[in-house]
């Protein structure tokens, strides 16, 4: 394996991790930066371009108080300036806390099956298909939902604590 291939593998893994962060923090510019402008995303009921996907994502994420996409192993196969990438993920979704309504967690095991291209030195998704392997729904014990337990709470862009520590100029891949 060459040095350049090792660097490209790390850039691709970083891209997938930035995508997950962008989704979970509702940082839609960060999500957009993971795609090339002419990309297609096939995400469950949505099939279309990046602008349409961002709008779909905004609507879908509004249903949840929090999400967390945990990225697992990635298989990366290169074909010149193109890569075929399969990445495992577990996606956690929690409904809003509303008094007298149950809080529900929905968890899904999926894979991002991507075609990525390196254009002008930058890797980006050109075609993504989300493959759903399994999902489950769990009622949450209301005693476990305590917003006043002293922990810093996750928030959406730009209010999340992590944005105070991480420089925003590093958000898009250079």
- Summarised one tens digit per residue, pLDDT across range 132-146 is 999 999 998 877 766
Q: What percent of the chain has pLDDT over 90?
A: 76
- Would you place residue 36 in the very low, low, confident or very high pLDDT band (cuts 50, 70, 90)? very high
Q: Is 168 helix (H, G, I), strand (E, B) or coil?
A: helix
**pTM value > 0.85:** yes
12: pLDDT strictly greater than 80: yes
Separation between Cα atoms, residue 173 and residue 8, nearest integer Å: 12
Backbone angles phi, psi at 170, to 5 degrees: -90, 0
pLDDT digits over 77-100, tens only? 999 999 999 999 999 999 987 778
- Would you place residue 57 in the very low, low, confident or very high pLDDT band (cuts 50, 70, 90)? very high
Separation between Cα atoms, residue 37 and residue 96, nearest integer Å: 33
173: pLDDT strictly greater than 60: no
For residue 158, say if its preceding peptide bond is cis, omega within 30 degrees of 0: yes
CATH code for the part of the protein at 3-170: 3.10.450.50
Region at 105 (left for phi over 0; alpha for psi -120 to 50; beta for the rest): beta
């Amino acid at each position: 394996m060459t040095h350049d291939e090792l660097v490209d593998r790390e850039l691709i893994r970083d891209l997938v991790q930035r995508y997950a962060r962008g989704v979970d923090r509702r940082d839609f510019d960060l999500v957009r930066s993971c795609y090339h402008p002419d990309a297609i995303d096939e995400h469950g009921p949505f099939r279309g371009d990046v602008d349409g996907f961002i709008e779909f994502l905004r609507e879908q994420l509004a249903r949840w108080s929090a999400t967390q996409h945990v990225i697992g192993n990635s298989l990366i196969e290169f074909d010149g300036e193109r890569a075929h990438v399969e990445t495992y993920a577990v996606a956690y979704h929690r409904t809003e806390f509303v008094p007298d309504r149950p809080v529900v967690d929905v968890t899904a095991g999926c894979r991002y099956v991507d075609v990525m291209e390196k254009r002008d030195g930058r890797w980006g998704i050109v075609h993504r298909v989300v493959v759903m392997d399994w999902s489950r729904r769990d009622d949450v014990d209301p005693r476990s939902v305590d917003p006043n337990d002293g922990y810093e709470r996750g928030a959406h862009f730009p209010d999340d604590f992590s944005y105070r520590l991480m420089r925003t100029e590093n958000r898009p891949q250079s």
